[in-house]
Amino acid sequence: MRPIQAELLAGGELYREVVLERLAHARESVWIATANVKAMYVEQRGRYVPLLEVLDGLAARGVALRLLHAELPSRPFRAEFDRRARLVAGGLGLKVCPRVHFKTVLVDGAWAYLGSANLTGAGLGAKGEDVRNFELGFVTEDFDVIDRATAMFESVWSGAECQGCRLRAVCPDPILPPGARGLPARAPSGIRLGKTRRIVRAR
């Protein structure tokens, strides 16, 4: 093990730090992995707006947006998404993998949240403290943690995990098309996808 600098957050702290302070002010990219996706509201300029409105604004500024999820988004989320032409046209990339259970928000490739909260109102949204879920997570700028989380996200997003997945038969929408060859099991550096590709620790 090695020490890292991180801050442990709980409840409404996660909403304020992850969503309001970081995600909403992204300049280059936001990658989100979550098991569940529901319509959620956030505070913006004195009013509560759908998170998709915030993401639409980021997309308008050229921020690259990815959402990796395990289950079909809720009906209100889908309805709100369908009203936003920029997101529908590719401003927000969406991919489903039923094995995704990790929750992370990666902002600008330089900051990460890792924890228990899903992309839902009771998880990362603007719910009151007496109704939101009990959640814990940590945030960090540690480059090794960010590299490993990014590599895991990318290995799922790219379809590298599809070829050998034993749940492919029940997957609603495999990322890698049937018969297509998967990505190499190992990255060019020799580090397995999902592990850090920036630091090689001495054995």
**What residue ranges define each of the domains in the chain, with the CATH number in brackets?**
6-142 (3.30.870.10)
First to last CA, the chain: 12
Q: Which H, E and C letters describe the chain, residue by residue?
A: CCCCCEEEEECHHHHHHHHHHHHHHCCCEEEEEECCECCCEEEECCEEEEHHHHHHHHHHCCCEEEEEECCCCCHHHHHHHHCCHHHHHHHEEEEECCCCCCEEEEECCCEEEEECCCECCCCCCCCCCCCCCCCEEEEECCHHHHHHHHHHHHHHHCCCCCCCCCCHHHCCCCCCCCCCCCCCCECCCCCECCCCCCCCCCC
Lowest mean per-residue pLDDT among 58-72, 107-121, 149-163, 172-186? 172-186
Q: What mean pLDDT, rounded, does the chain reach? A: 88
pLDDT tens column, 20-67: 999 999 999 999 999 999 999 999 989 999 999 999 999 999 999 999
pLDDT value at residue 176:
83
Residue 189 pLDDT more than 80? no
* Confidence bin at 198 (pLDDT 50/70/90): very low
Helices (H), the chain: 12-14, 51-60, 75-82, 85-86, 143-157
pLDDT value at residue 178:
67
Lowest mean per-residue pLDDT among 13-17, 70-74, 118-122, 199-203? 199-203
CA distances from residue 195 to 67, 146, 184 in whole angstroms, order as listed: 20, 10, 14
DSSP, res 189: T
Bridge-based pairing state of the strands 29-34 and 111-115: unpaired
Residue 191 pLDDT more than 80? no
pLDDT value at residue 180:
67
**Cβ atoms of 92 and 81 closer than 8 Å:** yes
pLDDT tens column, 162-179: 988 998 888 888 888 766
pLDDT value at residue 181:
59
State pTM to two decimals.
Answer: 0.87
Torsion angles phi and psi, residue 89, rounded to 5: -75, 0
